[in-house]
Structure 1
């Protein structure tokens, strides 16, 4: 069953510059985090401080793929997402991914612990539609490994920076962007319209 976005939204507590209207159907956690970093001048460490679960916050250093994995989001606390974003990000992400698994398995029930729970059909690198990303949007649908065209624009998906050709892993990281949407080579993925307020773009 395709999740209804409105079922996962509530009212944020106002501690962040944020608006639930900036969230779109099938939006990825990577996209949500980039918007958060962009609007709050935040870094990866701030995302962990804001939304990390008790185990994550008790670590001296947050290293390893497990903590940065954006498919399982095991380093984060759903209650904090709900309070501060007004969005049940973990549940929405899991529901979308499980819906994709069921579709790929011909509608069979999804079982925890099965081979498909590792989401091995999803890309390890960020898969980008240049039309979507210019508005700051990235979709989980872009991450399905056999989808080569954006479902929204029918344009080719790429998994590298168009300028320096560097691949970008699909994970929570500051190692590939100097600032949100800005590659270290200087290429800007999000196009800024100075005549429009941010909320109208998202």
Structure 2
């Protein structure tokens, strides 16, 4: 894969998870996860290990993603970690390892890192219950492996979103998630 990735600034949406951004990079460029991971981890001896969790990508991989898209993936990771700053030794402890998603958000190829936060069980944008299982096989979806070929898809092959008649660039440009809840405790929002 060359370094010619199609990505437009207006496709980045607030609170979007690293996983969602990676899936949308794959869709908008008609590439699979293996091709993308090969590029972002080209200097890694053990690529498989570094792809186990999108939230644990190396600084080198995050830099390469930034070069491709001009998205500050470090900022997303830092914001996520601020949500879990109470846990010093394992800050990712506050995030589900399986996919939690909003059925309305996923229809726009959108997933928020807020959906993964263990203390949140409703979508903060639609106020609907978050889904935690595949509708088809009724199993947890482990979303973190970016080497998957088909974006936004369960291991059983079920696509989490239905293909729309609209082109992908239009879907990414038009959907703007807006928070419908607010955090009352100012101590929790400090620095976010």
Task: Report the TM range for the smaller structure's normalisation.
Answer: 0.7 to 0.9
| Shift in Å, 1:85 | 1.0
Correspondence for 1:140 among 99, 106, 113:
113
Higher relative contact order (CA 8 A, sep 6+): 2
Structure 1, gaps ≥5 residues long: 1-13
Please give the alpha-carbon distance, in whole angstroms, between the structure 2 residues aligned to 1:88 and 1:53.
Answer: 20
Does residue 192 (structure 1) correspond to residue 168 (structure 2)? The answer is no
| Shift in Å, 1:67 | 3.2
Secondary structure in 2 aligned to 1:120?
Answer: helix
Matches within 5 A, 1:69-80: 69-74=53-58, 76-80=60-64
TM-score, normalisation: structure 1:
0.74
CA 1:184–1:81: 2 relative to 1, 3 Å: closer
Q: How many residues align?
A: 170
Q: Greater shift after overlay, 24-33 or 39-48?
A: 39-48
8 Å Cα contact 2:102/2:115 also seen in 1: yes
Structure 2, gaps ≥5 residues long: 173-192
Please give the alpha-carbon distance, in whole angstroms, between the structure 2 residues aligned to 1:23 and 1:151.
Answer: 18
Correspondence for 1:115 among 58, 79, 89:
89
Please give the alpha-carbon distance, in whole angstroms, between the structure 2 residues aligned to 1:135 and 1:185.
Answer: 21
Q: Over residues 15-39 of structure 1, what are the superposed CA-to-partner deviations in whole Å (9 max), with x where a residue is unaligned?
A: 1122121111111111011111112
Q: Over residues 31-62 of structure 1, what are the superposed CA-to-partner deviations in whole Å (9 max), with x where a residue is unaligned?
A: 011111112222221121222262x2x33xx3
Structure 1 partner of 2:81: 98
Matches within 5 A, 1:1-202: 15-52=4-41, 54=43, 56=44, 58-59=45-46, 62-64=47-49, 66-74=50-58, 76-89=60-73, 91-102=74-85, 105=86, 114-117=88-91, 119-174=92-147, 179-183=150-154, 185-194=156-165, 196-202=166-172
Q: Over residues 145-187 of structure 1, what are the superposed CA-to-partner deviations in whole Å (9 max), with x where a residue is unaligned?
A: 1211000011111122112112111312456xx6212445453
